[in-house]
Chain A
Amino acid sequence: MKMTAERWQSLTLGIVGIALFLAAWEAIGVNRLAGLTWPPLSAVFQFMFDPTKAQLFIRAMEASFSMVILGYVTGSVVGIALAGLVHVLPVVRPGMDRLASVIHAIPAIALAPLFIVLISREFTGMAIAALNVFFILYVSTTSGLNNSTAGHRDLFQVLGSSRTTRLLRLDLPAALPAVVSGMKYSVPAAFIGAILGEWFGSSRGLGLLMVSAMQNFQIPLLWSAVFIASTASLIVFGLMGLLEQFVYGRYK
């Protein structure tokens, strides 16, 4: 893709915006404009890259990110699989749609007690992450599977293809862009799920770090934990965005 003047301009403005945001963060912190609980960006960085704290952050990241990954993978697989199922068996679709939207509307905090009992405190985050991801992927995959055009479906009908062949050769490739978009948008949802889960009494993770730092006025630690979680989510989101662009170029 060629970079036009307009694209350069919007890129520059975007970078200026981010720079302004970071500068404002630093300035507010240095001048204590928002009180003692807003540290300058530099102080947060200093704290984050302090070698004596490395062990603390690495352990927390390991705990949280493993829950994110487990939840993300479980949610994606179940979401895509169930979407495929209701696509082949349309009878079950209304009930599945309804269940998915009820699950989506239940606030994660309401499910926490159930998960804590069912699958232990440590894995509650994973379960909430999986549910969040499941909903997004179920919805995007079901709508994606209807993306194949009527003309293409007629073609397969005329060629006498079976339902499964059509699913594999036509509907799934046509659904791929929607699925990948869903996978992109479920990245922050997976992080939210894992962190929330840790707020309900987990003994490890970035979420626990946030809550204990909040309660004990450990301001730089609090901001560092939030910064790490947000940045990690953004990086994965950006990578999925690249994958999305590739898939859109190939399948749309």
Chain B
Amino acid sequence: MNAPLSSAPATAPEAWAINVDHVGKTFTLDGGKELKAIDDVDIKIGQGEFVALLGPSGCGKSTILRLVAALEDVSTGRVTVEGSNPTALSRAHRLGVAFQDHALLPWLTIRDNIALPYKVAGRPVDDKRIAELLALVGLSGFEKARPRQLSGGMRQRVSIARALVLKPDVLLLDEPFGALDAVTRRHMNVELQRIWSEQRITTLLVTHSVEEALFLADRVIVMSGRPGRIIKEIQVPFARPRSPDVQRTMEFHHLADELTLALEPEGHH
């Protein structure tokens, strides 16, 4: 049932796992005015690649993720995931997603929340897999707890476990740690890096944190706002698995400075 995690797509017409092909998106506001959220954005993500979309709030980076997740339709251009329409992928239950809001169902236990994708897909629940994932995100023993009994960081770990449970082909992370405090957030980044290095699923991360993007991604794409455009792209050179110490190297600081500078609004200097 599940596609192998990191093999090349044999049948796909193109090699890209995610292809955002010159996409524009315009929203119609309440008063009838039109707002151009993103304009001519072109992003190609390879199999097993981790790409971070970095930008200020309101730059349309979440819109791109929502287009890839088939939550919105493009106005111009085309989005394909694994060579087909994104809707096809979500219908086949091959997308994993975690939002800034954990979106755990409050009436389900932690175990049942992680089992939810099985129920949605109409597949038998694999308790071994759930136990494995709970161990992976460090929450063994919390199976029977309810979301409100957990801390914010723990809830986000549950939502990441839920995103991974069906072994998705593509993982979409929309500011998954955006609502956490700085210390928890750094800790969660280290955890996510470890988890990801074990599974290597094609991942698109949306964030406004320079350090998060650099520490987690293979490639960082910087966007500017209104309308959202790509203004910079850098390859992250650090080998995996990455230890937290990477963040204290000179190279990391240089790259962070470079990205921070790119994020500054023009004419600020």
Contact = CB atoms under 8 A, between A and B. Distances in A.
A2 interface: yes
If over half of A's interface residues share one DSSP class (helix, strand or loop), that class is named, otherwise mixed; here it is: loop
Contacts of B30: 2, 4
A112 to B, nearest CB: 42
A2 B30 CA distance: 8
Nearest to A3: B30
Contacts, number: 3
A2 B31 CA distance: 7
Interface in B103-162: none
Contacts of A2: 30-31
A4 B33 CA distance: 12
Nearest to A1: B30
Is the contact region of chain B dominated by helix, strand, or loop, or is it mixed? Answer: loop
Interface residues of B, number: 2
A4 B28 CA distance: 11
Contacts of A4: 30
Nearest to A6: B30
Nearest to B31: A2
Interface string B11-44: 0000000000000000000110000000000000
A6 B195 CA distance: 45
Interface string B153-182: 000000000000000000000000000000
Contacts of B31: 2
A4 B31 CA distance: 7
Interface in A1-59: 2, 4
Interface string B252-263: 000000000000
Nearest to A7: B30
A55 B30 CA distance: 51
A4 B29 CA distance: 10
B159 to A, nearest CB: 28
B28 to A, nearest CB: 10
A206 to B, nearest CB: 44
A7 to B, nearest CB: 9
B31 to A, nearest CB: 6
Interface string B34-64: 0000000000000000000000000000000
B75 to A, nearest CB: 19
B7 to A, nearest CB: 46
A2 B29 CA distance: 12
B27 to A, nearest CB: 14
A10 to B, nearest CB: 14
A62 B150 CA distance: 59
Interface string A147-164: 000000000000000000
Interface in A48-91: none
A3 to B, nearest CB: 10
A95 B31 CA distance: 52
A44 B31 CA distance: 44
A38 B30 CA distance: 45
A11 to B, nearest CB: 16
A6 to B, nearest CB: 9
Nearest to B30: A4
B174 to A, nearest CB: 26
B34 to A, nearest CB: 15
A208 to B, nearest CB: 49
3 contacts: A2-B30, A2-B31, A4-B30
Closest 3 CB pairs of A and B: A4-B30, A2-B31, A2-B30
